[in-house]
Amino acid sequence: MPIFRTSLLEAVTALLRTVAQNQILPRCGRLTAADVSRKSADNDLVTAADLAAEVALTRGLRKLAPEALVIGEEAVFANPQLLEAIDRAELAFIVDPIDGTWNFAHGMPLFGSIIAATMNGTTVAAWIHYPQSGETLVAERGAGAFMLGPWGDSSPCRVSKQNVLAHMTGFLALPVFDEDHKTHIASQIPKLGDVTSYFCSAYEYRMLVTGAKDFALNGLMAPWDHAAGQLLHQEAGGYSALCDATIYRPGLTKGPLLLAPSRESWVDLRNMLTPQFNDVSTPGTPSNTKQFWTS
């Protein structure tokens, strides 16, 4: 049963489309060197489009829901303590103005804008907008996940039905894991159908919720990357949890997060890729295993 206001769901969808048209697309392929800056690493970029889009989205969300807390990726970079408010905010919007900034900055059309709405730390609504196609993935907790076309058409999303590991294809970014576990994971990849990474959560979740890809193992847990996508995946019929069986929520900062078509395939993938968690089988009962991703 849906718990989010339909009028607000539609208004946020419209806001994403407007900001994409006014702030993102006019800058696409037209960035100068002065428009691109590095944050924490050489591949961690922010552009003038990210900043302008986050300002516009934040302003728009505050008009739609003045009582809500807005937590944007770029705002968190300036003030990391904002993340601490996710679990206690009655209503919050978690915003990634441009997911796939590296792609965007280098002229690759794999990027999107992401918003998740949370209530008391639980994701209740999700949007991923694709500026270049005009499509938007939308989910409401208890009401399913849908792809909205630019002309008003809508189609339900369903995850893959694949459950044979040797045929499963998915997403996994090896560089984010520590050396010991990177070696183990790399040794298991040939047993799967195919593994890749777009370095863009917006498009990876699109492939998962439409059934084009089967699984994802995520070592990094930024809420703007996963809060919306995890709900979309769940509402499209998928199963997800941290590898220690903890049920995902946006306030969690330590992973990894594993998404699969079903509970059964999730267990099989977890046992193959992260065997240090094999003794845990019940969601919500974390094991006493050490961190194995890089911070």
Angular region, 97: left φ>0, alpha ψ -120 to 50, beta rest: alpha
Q: Is the pLDDT of residue 3 over 90?
A: no
Neighbours of 174 (CB within 10 A): 15
What whole-number percentage of the chain has pLDDT above 90? 84
More confident residue, 290 or 93: 93
pLDDT digit string (tens) for 233-242?
Answer: 999 999 999 9
Under a CB-based contact definition with an 8 Å cutoff, are residues 5 and 30 in contact?
no
pLDDT digit string (tens) for 122-155?
Answer: 999 999 999 999 999 999 999 999 999 999 899 9
Binding-site residue set: 73, 96, 98-99, 225
pLDDT digit string (tens) for 33-49?
Answer: 999 999 877 778 999 99
Q: Does the predicted model carry a pTM greater than 0.75?
A: yes
Q: Is the pLDDT of residue 285 over 60?
A: no
pLDDT-derived band at 224 (thresholds 50, 70, 90) equals very high
pLDDT-derived band at 288 (thresholds 50, 70, 90) equals very low
Question: What are the DSSP E strand ranges found in 14-130?
Answer: 36-38, 45-47, 69-72, 92-99, 112-119, 122-130
Under a CB-based contact definition with an 8 Å cutoff, are residues 216 and 172 in contact?
yes
Closest to 217 in 3D by CA, of 232, 201, 235: 201
DSSP symbol at 291: -
Give the up-direction half-sphere exposure of residue 147: CA atoms within 13 A in the CB hemisphere.
21
Task: Tokens for 92, please give them.
Answer: 């919050």
pLDDT digit string (tens) for 100-115?
Answer: 999 999 999 999 999 9
Under a CB-based contact definition with an 8 Å cutoff, are residues 12 and 115 in contact?
yes
Place of tokens 């690759």: 108
Domains defined for the chain, CATH in brackets: 6-156 (3.30.540.10), 165-277 (3.40.190.80)
Q: C-alpha 270: how far from its chain's center? A: 19
Binding-site residue set for Mg(2+): 73, 96, 98-99, 225
What single string gives the DSSP state of each residue in 76-105? HHH-GGGGGGTTT-SSEEEEEEEE-HHHHH
pLDDT-derived band at 280 (thresholds 50, 70, 90) equals low
pLDDT-derived band at 4 (thresholds 50, 70, 90) equals low
- Considering only 52-61, 71-80, 88-97, 278-287, which range has the smallest mean pLDDT? 278-287
Closest to 292 in 3D by CA, of 185, 216, 171, 169: 185
What is residue 57's predicted lDDT score, i.e. its pLDDT?
99
